[in-house]
Amino acid sequence: MDFWCADSFICIIRDTKLTNELYKDLPMIEKVKKGIRYFEFEGLGKYGRIQHAIFSRQGGVSPAPYNALNMSVSVPDDAANVYANRARAYGLFGRTNETVVHAHLVHEADVVAVTHQNYGQHMSRVDGLITNEPGVGLTMNYADCAPIFLYDPVHHAIGLGHAGWPGSVKDLPGSMVRAMQQAYGSEPAELIAGIGPCVGVEKYEVGEVVITAVHNAFSNPDALLVPSPNGGERPHYDLAAANRQNLLRAGVVHIEQSGFCTATHTDLFFSHRAEKGRTGRFGTIFILEE
């Protein structure tokens, strides 16, 4: 894991034991403002010094197949639509495209600490952002990969990450935890974690490249690579469980999972797999209040 500071997450509380882990799937809090539908973690929402949201695909201006709240300029949507969508979504939290920090996502496990000096920037080749500067907002975009939120209520710091299968086998969640330990003195057991909507195991058939990577990365690959529910020859990968396991290995015990499968709920979220690559990206925002 590489970690550095440029110039100068979040977590959800799981309070029910399940196989000795403090986690459970909880209904996310659904909100609609100015036509935009978004979701919040119940546990994170209990902390008054942060704001967070996972935006659905509803409420934007982009045409099909990017309809409607596409937040990414990396797909062939008109950039004017993307910036209009960002203005609508970020505006709900008093932000603009120039008053949040973005990331150039590359499916790795590198994490960078940011401040207000990075507003409007796309931090190069990172899949994790962290900050302890009050007022700073973090954003990332997704379409099947898992949003990772971390919040340290003791040291008042946050982290936002992007973990698909490459990030899960490279331990992006653990890299985020270690970066917050190094930068802010965070204790893993005090962190609150949330794993957002991602492709669910029932929809995530994988091939030999992923199978080999999972076997190399985890001591219990058979718990993460499960038989096809449709009787197919290839196994299915439990991406949410893999990212949860990474958090647990890093010492995080308070973890909330959204329970949403992006490939199933394409009415709510963009899914690269279900929509065969012709789709947009849904956004997230995580703000550390003053």
Cβ-based neighbour number of residue 253 at 10 Å: 17
Three-state DSSP state, 67: coil
Q: How confident is the model at residue 24 (pLDDT cuts 50, 70, 90)?
A: low
> What tokens appear for 161 in the block?
């990450």
Distances (CA, A) of 81 to 59, 114, 289: 12, 27, 28
In tens, the pLDDT along 142-198 reads 999 999 999 999 999 999 999 999 999 999 999 999 999 999 999 999 999 999 999
Q: How far apart are CA 189 and CA 199, in angstroms?
A: 27
In tens, the pLDDT along 253-279 reads 999 999 899 999 999 999 999 999 999
Give me the helices (H) in 38-127, please.
Answer: 79-91
CA torsion sign for 190, 13, 69, 134 is negative
Lowest mean pLDDT among 1-10, 85-94, 141-150: 1-10
Residue 4: strand pairing partners: 112
Q: 175 — alpha (psi -120 to 50), left (phi > 0) or beta?
A: alpha
Q: How far apart are CA 51 and CA 57, in angstroms?
A: 19
Domain-wise residue ranges, the chain:
9-288
pLDDT of residue 85: 99
Its pTM stands at: 0.91
CATH class of the region 9-288: alpha beta
